[in-house]
Structure 1
Amino acid sequence: MTASFRRLLALTSVLVLTTFTIYLYTTPEHFSNLSNNLYSFSTFYTPPPAPSNRPLDLDFFSKSYVISLPHRTDRRKDIDRLMDGLRISNWVYHDATYYNTSLIPHLLHNVQAQRIEEDHTFHSVVNLPFAWPADIDSSPSSIESNSNSLALAGAELWPSQPTPAVSLPNTSLVCAEENFRLTKFSDELPQWRYLTPQRVATFHSHLTAIRRVVDDNARAGVDLTREEGKTQEHIALILEDDVDMEVDIKERLGFCWSNEANHPPVENPYLIPRKNKLHPSFQPRCLHAYALSPAGAVRVLKYLRHEPFAYGRSVDLAFAWLILEKRLKSFTTVPPLVIQRKITKTDITVFGGSIWKEQLHEGVLGTTQSGDEV
């Protein structure tokens, strides 16, 4: 990675290589063995030595995290092949959250407790009182000076607290928009507007993966704060478990369901790769591949765990809103470097689905075009 690109990452919270949605599956035998721990970690995979003609390791990422449900051994076999093909060695699986654990209704009760003032008597759309914490933009004040760590706070503490004494509505909860705008439930709303257990589980999977990035950086002695003009190393890559990447991803340097070329590309010959361009992010959808600087991971975590904001919408839309509001500094590569393979059906949606819009030139796993309907 060029020195100029490293300097750019020093100013960046999020680098969107593409964007993704986590697909959640479960089986009764796996469900019976689940725990209610805040997060569960798995072991490293050590790939065999690769031939010298293989692509070089993606050394601009210090560590990669693959969010995956433990029982999806079929997907994990493909991820093993993907990491082997790209010679990525420092990576781990991060166990995703099952939507049918007792944790998810608990989180939904906490979300409803934040909405206790919601009243649609006179208006179908209401904006509840909302404010970001005063110190959310000041990362040094929230880092424990002695341990260089970020203490658990906000919605991260919900799993260890009693369930709020509020009733869930008979209808589905509706995803919040903007900061805290709520629309009255209607059967005519598109399914992606419903706050389902699957979407809450996806949010939890991402939040705990980002927490893991922060904790791993802290344990490694990485500075979690950003000093103006100082380059941040130790960039973390977070992936979903059904992705494929361009074979020559290192030479190229995505996005989904949005025009990420809305903003002009970064006009710097040292930053624009030969085949892909780097654009300031506009409203990237999905989250199946993204990179976080150490300070960026802290910043994202603090936003996602803010109680009136946490778990109240799809996690990819939470990212999109924070980027649109310029609370996160993010850049997107166009065209995408990583896409979902779309070879299996997801149960994150209630019904229907869509054809994936993007494609790869030549994926490591053989993907060259969009997948089946999901």
Structure 2
Amino acid sequence: MTAPFRRLLFFSTILVLTTLGGYLYTSPEHLSTLSAFYSSSTTYTPPTHSLDLGFISKTYVISLPHRTDRREDIVRLMDGLRMSNWVYHDGTYANMSIVEDLLRHVQAQRVEEDYSLHNTIHLPFTWPADIEVPLYDSTFLSNQTSPAGAELWPSQPPPPDVALPNTSMVCAEENFRLTKYFNNMPQWRILTPQRVAAFHSHFTAIRRVVDDNARAGIDLSRIEGKRQENIALILEDDVDMEVDIKERMGVLLPMLPYDWDMLFLGFCWSVETNHPVVRDPYIIPKKNLLYPSGQPRCLHAYALSPAGAVRLLKHLRHEPFAYSRSVDLATAWLISDKRIKSFTVVPPVIIQRKVTKTDITLFGGSIWKEKLEEGVLGTKQSGDEV
């Protein structure tokens, strides 16, 4: 075979293979396969974040920046439970100027107080109409999450003619009931800068939850029978949790109604078993039960549904109500008055360790009663004072 003939055979073979390949490439079957390949390989699918504890989308830990000791323990706790999507939310210091300004704004809401006839008075009070918007109206709720009411106080100077009273300010009760200050009043009834700072810390954390949900485009509507998603957990920085909290909560969560607002995973100083226990014919809880909340005290561990976070925010920012008492008494009243739909895990699966004194209590305290079966940080029962 001569060299020119071999070259002719080679190029002929290449031409035949190229023609056959072009036919196969442009055949309907191949084009369909190619289209499927590119559609699956070039379409970006955001990574799905596994839910912490099996149901929490994000956790916010309220912590004063200087408490590095507590922050180290929080890291150990999160690592122990393999919780990854969590952030610190810097708490508010009681000696910050904003706290005194907030107290003066509170006093401005009390200009009509007059104890000349009675030691207890009820000042005029109504809730804003927009709070009563049905929770299925997602579009309206989304448009109502911009700052309003007491949220604007930090950017507004208090009225110049409003001065703080000579005696200690007293915490309001119910909607707007005030009691005249008297000597030896129980310390929990005194509106201290520490309580206002704690209120501001939780309030801004709730606002952060609402803002994060809004940026993520999370739907606030509630559909009967649909399980709540995108749940936020707010913690204080001195907590411990049961080592098997994920398994315990996995049993209780399906028992929650579709329209719950708030879920207490920990509480203190309240009886949370006065309402009938939540039951399900197909679920038998073993270690913990679920109850409609009574008046749960302490806010060291609570979860919020997306719509529940909006509803709680809009109540807490109402000017005659905002900062008028400790923040846990504010939420307890909203729950007992059936303005917030809340449930409580009994016994708690998260407790405060109370390894140090709280920044809120002025003096004294009682023995801490809550305990864990086995805490991640080794907590079983704390005998420290509050």
Query: Cα 1:364–1:176, aligned 2, differ >3 Å: closer, same or farther?
Result: same
The CA deviation at 1:271 is: 5.3
* Residue from 103, 112, 130 that aligns with 1:108: 103
Equivalent residue number for residue 115 of structure 2: 120
Give yes or no for contact 2:295–2:336 (8 Å, CA) kept in 1.
yes
1:293 matched to 2:305 = yes
Quick one: which amino acid aligns to residue 95 of structure 1? D
Residues 284-316 of structure 1 deviation map (CA, whole Å, 9 limit, x = unaligned): 011100000000000000000000000000000
The CA deviation at 1:212 is: 0.3
Give yes or no for contact 2:122–2:176 (8 Å, CA) kept in 1.
yes
Equivalent residue number for residue 237 of structure 2: 241
CA distance in 1 between partners of 2:380 and 2:211 (Å):
36
Equivalent residue number for residue 70 of structure 2: 75
* Residue from 330, 341, 345 that aligns with 1:318: 330
The CA deviation at 1:231 is: 3.0
Secondary structure of the residue that 1:173 maps to in structure 2?
A: coil
Give yes or no for contact 2:354–2:384 (8 Å, CA) kept in 1.
yes
Greater fraction of residues in helix: 2
Equivalent residue number for residue 44 of structure 2: none
Query: Cα 1:269–1:107, aligned 2, differ >3 Å: closer, same or farther?
Result: same
The CA deviation at 1:140 is: 6.3
Q: Which runs of 5+ in 1 are unaligned?
A: 1-55
Once the two structures are overlaid, the 10-residue window that deviates more, 101-110 or 263-272, is: 263-272
RMSD, aligned CA: 1.9
Give yes or no for contact 2:213–2:306 (8 Å, CA) kept in 1.
yes
CA distance in 1 between partners of 2:118 and 2:280 (Å):
49
1:275 matched to 2:300 = no
| Larger RCO: 1 or 2 (CA < 8 Å, sep 6+) | 1
* Residue from 182, 187, 207 that aligns with 2:183: 187
Secondary structure of the residue that 1:256 maps to in structure 2?
A: coil
Matches within 5 A, 1:159-198: 159-165=154-160, 166-198=162-194
Find the structure with the greater CA-based Rg. 2
CA distance in 1 between partners of 2:225 and 2:336 (Å):
24
CA distance in 2 between partners of 1:252 and 1:183 (Å):
42
The CA deviation at 1:173 is: 0.4
Matches within 5 A, 1:134-213: 134-138=129-133, 150-165=145-160, 166-213=162-209
Q: Give the TM-score, by structure 1 length.
A: 0.82
Query: Cα 1:58–1:110, aligned 2, differ >3 Å: closer, same or farther?
Result: same
Equivalent residue number for residue 17 of structure 1: none
Query: Cα 1:345–1:146, aligned 2, differ >3 Å: closer, same or farther?
Result: closer
The CA deviation at 1:347 is: 2.9
Matches within 5 A, 1:31-46: none
The CA deviation at 1:232 is: 2.3
Quick one: which amino acid aligns to residue 127 of structure 2? W
Quick one: which amino acid aligns to residue 171 of structure 1? T
Once the two structures are overlaid, the 10-residue window that deviates more, 265-274 or 250-259, is: 265-274
Q: Which runs of 5+ in 2 are unaligned?
A: 1-50, 250-265
The CA deviation at 1:147 is: 6.8
- Count of aligned pairs between the two proteins: 319
Quick one: which amino acid aligns to residue 195 of structure 1? L
The CA deviation at 1:148 is: 5.9
Once the two structures are overlaid, the 10-residue window that deviates more, 203-212 or 219-228, is: 219-228
Q: Give the TM-score, by structure 2 length.
A: 0.79
Residues 232-269 of structure 1 deviation map (CA, whole Å, 9 limit, x = unaligned): 20010000000000000012213211110111211114
The CA deviation at 1:223 is: 1.1
Quick one: which amino acid aligns to residue 73 of structure 1? T
Secondary structure of the residue that 2:73 maps to in structure 1?
A: helix
Equivalent residue number for residue 265 of structure 1: 277
CA distance in 1 between partners of 2:283 and 2:205 (Å):
28
CA distance in 1 between partners of 2:189 and 2:272 (Å):
22
Matches within 5 A, 1:92-107: 92-107=87-102
CA distance in 1 between partners of 2:175 and 2:210 (Å):
24
Sequence identity (%): 75
The CA deviation at 1:146 is: 11
Query: Cα 1:237–1:183, aligned 2, differ >3 Å: closer, same or farther?
Result: same
The CA deviation at 1:175 is: 0.1
Quick one: which amino acid aligns to residue 363 of structure 2? F
Secondary structure of the residue that 1:158 maps to in structure 2?
A: helix
Query: Cα 1:363–1:111, aligned 2, differ >3 Å: closer, same or farther?
Result: same
The CA deviation at 1:224 is: 2.5
Secondary structure of the residue that 2:132 maps to in structure 1?
A: coil
Matches within 5 A, 1:41-56: none
Equivalent residue number for residue 341 of structure 1: 353
Give yes or no for contact 2:136–2:222 (8 Å, CA) kept in 1.
no
CA distance in 1 between partners of 2:137 and 2:166 (Å):
39
The CA deviation at 1:230 is: 3.6
CA distance in 2 between partners of 1:188 and 1:295 (Å):
41
Residues 95-151 of structure 1 deviation map (CA, whole Å, 9 limit, x = unaligned): 000010000010001000000000101100000000001121216699766976710
Once the two structures are overlaid, the 10-residue window that deviates more, 107-116 or 140-149, is: 140-149
Equivalent residue number for residue 56 of structure 2: 61
CA distance in 2 between partners of 1:372 and 1:241 (Å):
16
